[in-house]
């Protein structure tokens, strides 16, 4: 069986340090937080890829003399 994760509890008035096993609720929250963070990273990466694709499309259309879509124009105009 894997070892239960622990946390370090420090009593700042005495400097005493104690290792305490996480509760089931703390472990579940930690896992939920990790999953949410992973999803945020994936969403940010997808958004960055979509923006890069739009910019590349806008650049290609400008070079070819074609009209840009509103979304493409927004990527190159600040």
Binned at pLDDT 50, 70 and 90, residue 78 comes out as: low
Query: What was the pLDDT predicted at 68?
Result: 85
Query: What was the pLDDT predicted at 75?
Result: 83
Name residue, tokens 């703390």: 26
Query: What was the pLDDT predicted at 59?
Result: 86
Query: What was the pLDDT predicted at 65?
Result: 85
Query: What was the pLDDT predicted at 1?
Result: 52
Distance of CA 50 to the CA centre of its chain: 16
The total of other beta-carbon atoms located within 10 Å of residue 62's CB is 14
Task: Return the C-alpha torsion angle 46, 47, 52, 55, nearest 10.
Answer: 150
Domain regions of the chain by residue span: 6-76
Tens of pLDDT, residue by residue over 14-68, are 999 999 999 999 999 999 999 999 999 999 999 999 999 999 999 898 888 888 8
Query: What was the pLDDT predicted at 74?
Result: 85
Tell which phi-psi region holds residue 8, choosing left (phi > 0), alpha (psi between -120 and 50) or beta: beta
């Amino acid at each position: 069986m894997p070892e239960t994760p622990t946390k370090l509890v420090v009593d700042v008035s005495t400097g005493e340090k104690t290792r305490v096993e996480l509760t089931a609720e703390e472990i579940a929250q930690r896992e939920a937080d990790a999953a949410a963070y992973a999803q945020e990273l994936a969403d940010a990466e997808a958004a960055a890829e979509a923006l890069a694709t739009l910019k590349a499309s806008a650049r290609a259309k400008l070079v070819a003399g074609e009209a840009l879509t509103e979304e493409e124009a927004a990527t190159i105009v600040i």
